[in-house]
Amino acid sequence: MNLHGSDTLRAPCPYMEPLLQQTADGTAFRLMKWYAMFHVSGCVHCRTYLERLEETLAKLQEAREAEQVPEDVLKRLEQGAWRSIQ
């Protein structure tokens, strides 16, 4: 996997990739999250993968928030203004 154009980035440990994804998106809890963070503390490839995955998710969240519909448009849609578009 080559994220952000880095030629030196090596893929994470194969058995860790799903756990790192869960850690990045916040679905890994307790022992799973602890194990992922413990592994990342000693594995530069998995640490880099997790950091870049978190950066990517943050950018996606920013893009989602930037595309939210303005309040006045939502009110018009709730009032049935969308029917005039058809």
Q: Biggest alpha carbon distance in the chain?
A: 60
Per-residue pLDDT at 61: 83
pLDDT tens figures, 11-62 = 899 999 999 999 999 999 999 999 999 999 999 999 999 999 999 988 888 8
Predicted model pTM:
0.66
Q: Kindly report the three-state secondary structure assignment for every residue of 15-59.
A: CCHHHHHHHHHCCCCHHHHHHHHHHHHHCHHHHHHHHHHHHHHHH
Reported as type and span, the H/E element at residue 61 is helix 44-66
Contact 20, 28 (CB under 8 A): no
pLDDT band at 83 (very low <50, low <70, confident <90, very high): low
Per-residue pLDDT at 72: 72
